[in-house]
């Protein structure tokens, strides 16, 4: 199988190159993202492999189909960046449903701890030998209430961590997990009762902007909000308004709804034109990182293995267990 591998970073090669040799696959690594301007590079390949900030729309699906591309291999669990309906009966879309739930959950917990205890700010202050702790006061998480939105594998891992902190956990998911041992409540109840809210749900029509002006108004003053899932779960402008009004104790974001072309890239020498993102960066109680919650050795290895296992199944006519339908 010949695979066109888009949006390649140096760390992708570390994991995919040796595994591709084991499977007997030929991978062409392309640094450019996959979009309407670069889809032609897939000509002559059996499959393309894309990441979360690549975009494959209906027009591109038709182009890929006409080029005899048989599969879109996702290096992610999420699939909102591909027009799944357009791909139906034309191209198989294969995802990585689980690589390391603990990696993302642990990172989300790290963001919560950092914005609560001002760890990111303390680091910069003490580097200048300013050892004053004034302004860094936090709050105990023990005996507080945490709201977890989405109780898939990552959400479940996060629940275990939060319970380890001694927090009372409330959960919301339209498809509750039986036997999980957590209290499921309505979204409204979760917003009203939680001292900290963490998002672990996929991006769908129902969840887009689940955090908005109305839901923010329901939340407690001083609430902590963490998002390591998808940026568009939060209406960024409404979040900005909430921060200006002093609603949040702290916000930790590993994702952003307009991150394409910014996250995973070095933009340190150019002016970022996204005014909302630039404004969010100015708040002392906001910590933004570049969609790296998944980024552990264990997760990267698992992503590479599962992605190429998907390709192997397709090539050998095996059941496509990870096909998105």
Task: Give the pLDDT mean for 116-145.
Answer: 97
Share of the chain above pLDDT 70, in %: 100
CB 242, CB 248: distance < 8 Å: yes
pLDDT greater than 90 at residue 232: yes
Tell me the C-alpha to C-alpha distance, in Å, between residue 28 and each of 3, 47, 67, 192. Answer: 6, 11, 16, 50
- Return the H-helix or E-strand segment holding 3: strand 2-5
Task: Give the model's confidence band at 98: pLDDT under 50 very low, under 70 low, under 90 confident, else very high.
Answer: confident
Task: Give the pLDDT mean for 187-207.
Answer: 97
Task: Give the model's confidence band at 197: pLDDT under 50 very low, under 70 low, under 90 confident, else very high.
Answer: very high
Q: Does the predicted TM-score (pTM) go above 0.95?
A: no
Task: Give the pLDDT mean for 134-152.
Answer: 97
Domain boundaries, the chain: 2-99+296-315, 101-288
Tell me the C-alpha to C-alpha distance, in Å, between residue 138 and each of 236, 253, 262. Answer: 25, 18, 31
Task: Give the model's confidence band at 216: pLDDT under 50 very low, under 70 low, under 90 confident, else very high.
Answer: very high
Task: Give the pLDDT mean for 181-187.
Answer: 97
- Rg of the chain, C-alpha, whole Å: 21
pLDDT digits (tens, 9 = 90+) for 1-48: 999 999 999 999 999 999 999 999 999 999 999 999 999 999 999 999
Residues 201, 190: Cα–Cα separation, whole Å: 14
Find the range with the poorest average confidence among 92-101, 155-164, 284-293: 92-101
The domains spanning 2-99+296-315 and 101-288 adopt the same CATH topology = yes
Quote the DSSP letter at residue 197.
E
Give the pLDDT of residue 175: 96
Give the pLDDT of residue 140: 98
Active-site residue set: 230, 259, 291
pLDDT greater than 90 at residue 99: no
Superfamily covering domain 101-288: NAD(P)-binding Rossmann-like Domain (3.40.50.720)
| 2-99+296-315 classified as CATH 1.10.150.120 | no
pLDDT digits (tens, 9 = 90+) for 266-275: 999 999 899 9
Share of the chain above pLDDT 90, in %: 97
Give the pLDDT of residue 277: 97
Going by DSSP bridges, is the β-strand pair 168-172/92-94 parallel, antiparallel, or unpaired?
A: unpaired
pLDDT digits (tens, 9 = 90+) for 158-170: 999 999 999 999 9
Give the pLDDT of residue 296: 96
Q: Which residues pair with 5 in a beta bridge?
A: 29, 49
Task: Give the pLDDT mean for 162-179.
Answer: 97
Task: Give the pLDDT mean for 277-298.
Answer: 96
**Residue position matching structure tokens 């709050």:** 139
More confident call, 292 vs 98? 292
Task: Give the pLDDT mean for 255-261.
Answer: 93
Give the pLDDT of residue 135: 95
pLDDT greater than 90 at residue 92: yes
Give the pLDDT of residue 59: 98
What is the chain's mean pLDDT, rounded? 96
């Amino acid at each position: 199988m010949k695979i066109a591998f888009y949006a390649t970073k140096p760390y992708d090669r570390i994991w995919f190159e040796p595994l591709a040799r084991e499977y007997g696959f030929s991978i062409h690594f392309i640094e450019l993202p996959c979009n309407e301007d670069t889809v032609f590079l897939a000509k002559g390949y059996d499959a393309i492999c894309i990441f979360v900030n690549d975009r494959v729309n209906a027009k591109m699906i038709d182009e890929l189909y006409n080029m005899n591309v048989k599969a879109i291999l996702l290096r992610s669990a999420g699939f909102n960046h591909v027009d799944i309906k357009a791909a139906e009966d034309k191209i198989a879309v294969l995802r990585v449903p689980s690589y390391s739930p603990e990696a993302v959950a642990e990172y989300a917990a790290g963001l919560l701890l950092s914005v609560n205890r001002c760890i990111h700010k303390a680091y910069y202050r003490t580097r200048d030998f300013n050892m004053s702790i004034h302004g860094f006061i936090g709050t105990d998480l023990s005996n507080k209430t945490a709201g977890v939105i989405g109780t898939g594998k990552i959400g479940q891992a996060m629940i275990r961590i939060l319970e380890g902190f001694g927090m009372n956990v409330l959960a919301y998911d339209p498809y509750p997990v039986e036997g999980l041992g957590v209290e499921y409540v309505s979204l409204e109840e979760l917003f009203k009762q939680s001292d900290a809210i963490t998002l672990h749900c996929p991006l769908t029509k129902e969840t887009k902007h689940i955090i908005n002006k109305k839901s923010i108004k329901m939340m407690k003053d001083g609430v902590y909000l963490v998002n390591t899932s998808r940026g568009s779960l939060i209406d960024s402008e409404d979040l900005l308004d909430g921060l200006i009004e002093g609603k949040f104790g702290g916000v930790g974001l590993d994702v952003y709804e307009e991150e394409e072309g910014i996250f995973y890239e070095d933009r340190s020498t150019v002016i970022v034109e996204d005014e909302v993102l630039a404004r969010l960066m100015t708040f002392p109680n906001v910590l933004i990182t570049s969609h790296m919650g998944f980024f552990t050795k264990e997760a990267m290895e698992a992503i590479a293995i599962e992605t190429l296992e998907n390709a192997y199944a397709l090539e050998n006519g095996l059941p496509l267990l990870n096909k998105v339908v």
